[in-house]
Amino acid sequence: MRLTILSFITLVFLTSCSDKQNISSEMYIGTYRIMDQMVPYPFIIQQKKDTIYLYNNKGNSIDKITNTSINKNKSLNFQEKHLKITQKEDDEFLAFDLLDTTNFKTFKNGKPSPKNSAKFKKIKSENKLDLQKVKKEIGKFIWKYDVVEDENSNPNNDLEIEKLFYFKNDSLNIITNYYYQGLKTISEYETKSYNFFVIDSIYFLSLQKESSNPQPIYQIVRYDSNKIELRDFSSRVSKNIIFHKESISVIDYTELAKNSSIYSNCFDGYQGEYYFGDDVTFNKGNEYIINYVNENIPKNETNSGYLIVHFNINCSGKVGNFGLIQMNRDFKATAFSKEFVNHTINKVSKLEEFPASNSQLERLNYKDVHAFLMFKINNGKIVDVCP
C-alpha cells in the first residue's frame, strides 16, 4: 500500500515537472547584425513548447513554426526568413537569413558568413510592471539620460553628452545637449516613433524609423515615477541605461527644441569613414575653414596644441553627433578654455558645404560618414587643419 502511494506521488511529481517544462518559454532578442558594424536587428524569437514564434519591433507575432529546439546548423524556416543558426551558446546564438541576400553577405563559395549573421541574446523576466501605468505616466514628464558611450559613439574624451526625451502620443522627441566644462555648446533635435509592448511578462520599449533605418529594441528592467531602467543590447556588451525624471516642463522643453539644430543620421546602424567611396571633404577647402573658424575667435586662449572635432555627415550633407579630443604639442591630453572650445564646435556645426554621403561600395552599406577636423592651434589661433 505504501509503495503504491509512493509510486502515485512520484508519477504526479514527474508529470507536474514535465508540464512545467512544456509550458516554459525562452525568449531571445535580436541585438544587431554584422559583427563589425552592429546594425540593429529588431526582432524577437520565442520558443514555447514545440512552437517558435517570430515577433517584429512592435511586439506583433508575424510568424510561427513547429520546432522543438534552437541548435547550431539548424534552420528556422519562417515564411519570410530562413534563419540558419551558425553558432549557438547557452545564452545567445547567431543566425544567418538565407532569404535576405542584400543584408546577409555570404562567402564566395555561397556559405553563410558568421560575421554577417544577426546576434540574438537570451533574456528573462525582471520585475512585474503595470504597462498601462507606464504608458499613461511617461508622457507627463521629460526624461534625462547621461549618455554611456560605446562602439556606436563617435570618438570623444572631453564632451559630456545628455539626451532629453519627451514621449508624446505619436512620437518620441529627443534633444541632445553637448557640454564642455559645464557650458552647453550646442543642441540637436530629432524625432522617432516608439512603442511599448509585453511578451510573457517581459516588457519592451522599441524605437522606429523607416524600415530601411532599423532601430533597437530595449528591455524595460524597472520603472517608477522618477526613473526608467532599460537594458540596451545595441553594442557588443549589453548594458543597463537609466532615464531620470527631469525638472524641466514640457513647455520649456518645446522652446529648447525650437532653438536646437535639427539633425538625424539617415542610417543609424553604421557610418562609413570619410575616406571611403567618394571624396566627402569640405567643398570650399581647408583654407576657408581656417579663416571661418578664426573669425571672432576668443582672445583669452594662449595654449598651443590640437583640437579634434569628431562628427557625422549625413546623406543630406548636414553635420551632427559630435565628439571632442584635445592634445598638446606632445600629443598628451590637454584642455583649452571653454570659450575657445564652444566657439570652435559652434562654427563647425554651421558648416554646410559638405557633400552628401552615400556608400558607393557594395561591401559597405552606409548613408552617413564619420569625419573629423583636427585644428592645429598656435597660441590660441588656428594655423592649420586636416584632413
Question: pLDDT tens digit string along 64-123?
Answer: 999 878 999 999 999 999 999 999 999 999 999 999 988 998 998 888 988 999 999 999
Q: What is the pLDDT of residue 191?
A: 97
Q: What is the pLDDT of residue 5?
A: 40
What is the chain's mean pLDDT, rounded? 91
Q: What is the pLDDT of residue 21?
A: 40
Please, what's the largest Cα pairwise distance for the chain? Answer: 100
Q: What is the pLDDT of residue 269?
A: 87
Query: In the chain, which residues have pLDDT < 70?
Result: 1-24, 277-279
Q: What is the pLDDT of residue 17?
A: 43
Which letter does DSSP use for residue 143 in this model?
E
305-313 and 271-273 strand pairing: unpaired
Q: 206: exposed, middle or buried (C-beta count within 10 Å: 0-12, 13-18, 19+)? A: buried
- Could you tell me how far CA 360 lies from the centroid of its own chain? 24
Model confidence, pTM: 0.89
Q: Please tell me the total number of residues recorded for the chain in this structure.
A: 387
